[in-house]
Amino acid sequence: MQTVLSVGIDALAYGMVLFVISIGLSVTMGLMRVVNLAHGAFAMIGGYIASYATQTLGFGYGVAILAAVVGTILIAIPVERFLYRRIYGAPELTQVLMTIGITFCVIGIANYVFGPTLKTIPLPELLRGPVDLGFRSISAQKLFAIACGVVVAGGLWFLIEKTSFGVKLRASVDNAAMAASLGVRTKIVYAVSFAVAVGLAAFGGIVGAELLPIEPYYALRYMVTFLVVVSVGGAGSIPGALLACLLLGAIDTTGRYLLPEYGEFFFYLAVIAIVCVFPRGLLGRSK
């Protein structure tokens, strides 16, 4: 029983980290209809900014998170304005080529500016120590990641489903011309949505740095993982993404506990099985 509980806690922490990073990609793919393979690059940018802010500038962890999220969004604004707007509504192959090109550019810049070494983000004293749960001790940082996932899931669901902005976003996706004729400023709606997605990617990159280390090839190393989460959960579905992250996190963590020599075999086997049974994802939206 102790082993089961230990696996459950680790799986929950890993799943929540995946969720915080991947949910922005679910928004851009499911609601904005953009196959953004550069999503992981923005998570990496956030991690680099946070590392620089803490290691070089001496900022605290909280200030570094804020600086990283804001900095990543400021970097993304001109990218969205001059590059992404050209591919809204374009064929998916065009979107893939454009965004994977952005990914390689970001990787090249990261290698040139920061070097090929692994970057760390020092944790505050509050998040360094273990927390005794009775049946085992767990890193406070993992509990922080779990809490962040819960807050992000609730906040994003409320934003999209219960606010006027969410209504405008869904209307812009369903029929941009009609939404514009009714006074919705679709370009601003897309820009804000993209900024939210990028900000979440940066935040997830920082919160998950202990489990998914920040290094120059981060964007490529975890690109498939983020895409898998969106595919399994269903693009555009926040509950679906959360369910997919928890399910895949449990499968991957259990496999690594019991049969570590198999690596990610069980993770991708589960992905194949789920996609075969649910082609649109667990809770995917109908097109």
pLDDT tens-digit profile of 17-44? Answer: 899 989 888 888 877 788 899 999 999 9
Indicate whether 282 belongs to any domain. no
Angle in degrees, 0-180, between the axes of helices 223-233 and 238-258, rounded to the nearest 10: 120
Report if residue 217 sits inside a domain: yes
- CA 273/CA 117 separation, integer angstroms: 37
Per-residue pLDDT band for 199 (boundaries 50, 70, 90) equals: very high
Q: Which helix (H) or strand (E) holds 136?
A: none
Specify the pLDDT at position 286.
55
Closest Cα to residue 139, out of 284, 17, 37? 17
* Overall pTM surpassing 0.85 (yes/no): yes
Residue 82 scores a pLDDT above 60: yes
What range does the domain containing 198 cover? 2-277
- Is residue 285 a part of any domain in this protein? no
How far apart, in Å, do the first and last CA atoms of the chain sit?
A: 43
Arithmetic mean of pLDDT, 141-150: 90
Give the model's pLDDT for residue 94.
Answer: 93
Domain-located, residue 286:
no
Does residue 241 lie in a domain region? yes
In this structure, what CATH number is given to the domain that contains residue 127?
Answer: 1.10.3470
Domain annotation covers residue 287:
no
**Is residue 205 situated within a structural domain?**
yes
283 located within any domain: no
**Number of domain units in the chain:** 1
Quick one: average pLDDT of 125-135? 81
**Per-residue model confidence as pLDDT tens digits over 223-274:** 888 888 888 988 778 888 899 999 998 998 888 888 888 878 888 999 999 9
Nearest to 230 by CA among 40, 55, 10, 65: 40
> Mean pLDDT of all residues in the chain?
88
* CA dist., res. 204 & res. 247, Å (int): 18
